[in-house]
Amino acid sequence: MEQAPVPTADPITVEVVDLMARLVGLFHREYEEAAAARSLTGAQAKVLALLRRGPMPMRHIAQTLSCEPSNVTGIVDRLEGRGFVTREADPQDRRVKLVAATDSGLSASTELRESLNFAREPLAALDAAERAQLRDLLRRMLDSSTPA
Amino acid sequence: MEQAPVPTADPITVEVVDLMARLVGLFHREYEEAAAARSLTGAQAKVLALLRRGPMPMRHIAQTLSCEPSNVTGIVDRLEGRGFVTREADPQDRRVKLVAATDSGLSASTELRESLNFAREPLAALDAAERAQLRDLLRRMLDSSTPA
DNA sequence: ATGAAAGGTTCATGTTGTCAACTGTTCAGC
DNA sequence: GCTGAACAGTTGACAACATGAACCTTTCAT
């Protein structure tokens, strides 16, 4: 039987991976800073961002963040303590706690999101057509690995 | 005088930022996992990756990682404790400590780097020409914001 | 009805991160 | 040459994040 064809690390792929690593570093730092400017931590900001689509069980948050549920407990505790989210029991299943963003939490998250859009100088180096190209490439990469 | 043209969040930019956020999340998680598989933390792996180019003063590490020097002390302590790096005084300036990867540290870092290359399924969705396109776009974004 | 399984929390522990205070070393100005 | 400012690194105290095990409550299959 053939060995699974090791995706021979061609030079372009290697370089793209490297560039992405740098991009990830940049992005991550800026996100962290933008959150800190609103005295949120990165993890808190991520949870708030998740809740923009609507209330969500703790477990679902943990899955999306790829971390242990016990970790989420603490993060939500702190967000709740500052009035950014609420916990309410799910009427359908009383084991489940639905976490929902408050108005205050929602607007904090929206502010942060918008501050990111124009803080993103790296994108300024590209013109409209190139940004569209980039968008298409990224879309295809993500759609292939995140069926959702 | 004109107001600085608020980079009116055009829909494409907004979407690109969003896609990048998702990509960053994916990449970050995979990096963290790949590091954990070698019982390294993400931060430790990042420092080892930095040292692949050669020895480096603590302060330079802190600057590159955008964190406090005191934080680097701890990370390097743990790496040193496991024989992945060494600390030696810089003969030129005895205040400075040069951190260098050992052979063991270097090969751990290389292994990790290579495991990333073919763990990067998202890239598989693109053919060679598209990967080259992506590389060019990313290069330009990064070169514009990281003069180095 | 009983017991297994699932959702959350708690506790203990380790790593990352910040900040302030401290030790050595270098270097500019006198 | 000295003195003092500035710099590199460490230490200590503390908060957030992250994991894993133990636990409680609720649900659900049998």
Per-residue pLDDT tens listing for chain A (148 residues)? 454 445 556 788 888 888 888 888 888 898 999 999 999 999 999 999 999 999 999 999 999 999 999 999 999 999 999 999 999 999 999 999 999 999 999 999 999 998 887 667 778 888 999 999 999 999 998 887 765 5
Cα-flanking dihedrals φ and ψ of residue A31, to 5°?
A: -65, -45
Quick check: A137 and B122 CB within 8 A?
Answer: no
Interface check for A129 against chain B (CB to CB < 8 A): the answer is no
Half-sphere exposure of A145 (CA within 13 A, CB side): 20
Q: Which residues pair with A99 in a beta bridge?
A: A56, A87
**What is the rounded (10 degree) CA torsion for A133, A65, A40, B36?**
-100
Half-sphere exposure of B60 (CA within 13 A, CB side): 12
Residue among B113, B51, B24, B60 nearest A9 (CA): B113
Separation of CA B110 and C1' C14 in angstroms?
Answer: 26
pTM of the predicted protein model:
0.87
Q: Is the pLDDT of residue B19 over 70?
A: yes
DSSP state of B4: P
For nucleic chain C, which protein residues have CB less than 7 Å from any of its atoms?
A 57-59, 62, 69-70, 72-74, 76-77, 87, 93, 95-97; B 41-44, 65-68, 70-71, 74-75, 78, 93-95
Separation of CA A55 and C1' C3 in angstroms?
Answer: 32
Alpha carbon distances (Å) from A19 to B26, B84, B120, B141: 15, 25, 13, 10
Contacts of A114 in chain B (CB under 8 A): 9
